[in-house]
Amino acid sequence: MVATIKELSEKQDLLSPGHRLCAGCGASIVVRMILKSSKKPLVVASATGCLEVSTTIYPFTAWRTPFIHSAFENASATISGVIATYDAMKKKGKIKEDINFVCFGGDGSTFDIGLQSLSGAFERGTNFVYVCYDNEAYMNTGIQRSGATPMGAWTTTSEVGKAQAGKRVHRKNMTEIMAAHGGYAAQASPSHWRDLVMKAEKAFEYDGPAFLNVLAPCPRGWRIPTDQTVEFARQAVESKYWPLYEVMEGEHKITYQPKKEIAVSEWLSPQGRFKHLLKDANAPVMTEIQTQIDKEWNRLIKMSGEPT
């Protein structure tokens, strides 16, 4: 049974206040909710990124768990080594406690630099939870485009001008890439806390590798107000840009149907990174984005067996 909001509020925050993540950072909201979802003690690994550099500024740490910082490209391999050591020590009776292992990475380290390490850990059947806090660009190093950056978005490496109107291609479907490995994979949003907690609990309880792709709006990179993070995450879901679903060993299930569907333009238009798409000359890009969203939603409907 999913923990209630009261039960979650009474649990200790394992990511303490006082860290240096930006005001309104979606990653900190996501991490706090997921850490509270574990019923067992945790060991945390994190790839280089916004989360790591802002919570472990030497000699301080915001983590109330054992924490390991690994490089962009090998966080999943690092946690795999920790788990192998734990299994060996438990077999010898040196550790008796049951522990959950979780690895956090941004979209840069997940979609791009660390994909080989993540894929390898899943292929080996490593029993851990990998969480991608997806802010849709390399925000930590200056807002460069990543494999998660949506079509049409401005970044410092997908600029806007006569040659192009932001990023030219669609984002990777990372949730489906990980679902293809088997195990458990799900897509979630901090705007729908019960759905997120349910998936996190299921991921921690799953006997094998589990992947959570969670939208984490970045006010700095998205050019949105710092007090509107959760609202923009909610609109992403309602526009079907960010569908909430899970895949358990190949079986798809949509976990939330938008109650009041909105056009993707309603979500994109207030974001500074998409303001150029409001010009008539760039209208075809907006149309292409909506077409891709409709196509992906229809695919999910078909995969899950939901009525249209």
The one-letter code for the residue type at 13 is D
Radius of gyration of the chain measured on its C-alpha atoms: 19
How far is it, in rounded angstroms, from Cα 239 to Cα 267?
A: 7
pLDDT at 297: 97
Answer for the pair 201, 186: CB distance below 8 angstroms, yes or no.
no
pLDDT at 3: 83
pLDDT, tens only, 92-103: 999 999 999 999
Mean pLDDT of the 54-79 span: 96
How far is it, in rounded angstroms, from Cα 199 to Cα 10?
A: 20
Mean pLDDT of the 73-78 span: 97
The one-letter code for the residue type at 262 is I
Structure tokens at 184: 């458990």
pLDDT at 19: 95
What is the domain extent for residue 27?
Answer: 5-304
Per the listing, tokens 């190949």 go with: 250
Whether the pLDDT of residue 4 is over 90: the answer is no
Mean pLDDT of the 29-48 span: 97
Domains identified in the chain, total number? 1
Answer for the pair 276, 154: CB distance below 8 angstroms, yes or no.
yes
Whether the pLDDT of residue 283 is over 80: the answer is yes
Task: For residue 79, report the phi and psi dihedrals to the nearest 5 degrees.
Answer: -65, -30
pLDDT at 243: 98
pLDDT at 5: 87
Whether the pLDDT of residue 308 is over 70: the answer is no
Task: For residue 195, report the phi and psi dihedrals to the nearest 5 degrees.
Answer: -65, -40
What CATH number has the domain bearing residue 135?
3.40.50.970
Cβ count within 10 A of residue 254: 17
pLDDT above 90: percentage of residues in the chain: 94
- pTM, to two decimals: 0.96
N-terminal to C-terminal alpha carbon distance within the chain: 29
Confidence of residue 2 (pLDDT cuts 50, 70, 90): confident
Whether the pLDDT of residue 1 is over 80: the answer is no
Mean pLDDT of the 22-42 span: 97
